[in-house]
Amino acid sequence: MNDMANLTERHGSYYVRFIVPKERWRDVGAVLGSSTGLRRDVLKSLQTKDRKTAFKLRDAALEAIRRSLNLKLAEAGLPPLHGDVVPDWMSEDCILSEALEVRWEIASTSDRTDGGDRQMGPTDPRRRLIEGMDTFWKIEPNSLRRLERPLQAM
């Protein structure tokens, strides 16, 4: 296997090269605003001069380019290159990041009992926050499923 596949060195820096399938040159050229109307590849700097670091960054960079192209194609009403179109907010990294933010918010909210209200009685802000999130997640999955259907049809 060619270990330099999809890597290019220019002026001492490494770039990743995403090769567009020939039958999609016109579509990708259109969504990227190519002056010729065609786009055969997409180059992106890995911002490194080190060969080993470039190899480590290559696969993630290729995936990021593919995801970006697929989103632009979907916005234009065109099918993805390959794989599924997954909006950024549905990516595993985004979901994990949001979950950690919620965890921090819960941990930093007071658990001291206060006056509460008529409906819940004496309770604490942390419990109200958790119950509010539970209610949200009981309702929200239906909304997410409705959003997934149009994405899968693309």
Cα-based torsion angle of the residue sequence 63, 65, 69, 75 in order, rounded to the nearest 10 degrees? 90
Read off the pLDDT of residues 5-32 as tens digits, 9 standing for 90 and up: 899 999 999 999 999 999 999 999 999 9
H helix intervals, 41-153 = 51-75, 92-108, 125-153
Read off the pLDDT of residues 133-147 as tens digits, 9 standing for 90 and up: 777 666 655 555 554
Read off the pLDDT of residues 88-120 as tens digits, 9 standing for 90 and up: 666 666 777 777 777 777 777 777 777 766 776
Distance of alpha carbon 137 from alpha carbon 88, whole angstroms: 19
Largest CA distance in the chain: 70
pTM: predicted TM-score of the whole model, two decimal places: 0.55
Do residues 70 and 85 make contact, with C-beta atoms less than 8 angstroms apart?
yes
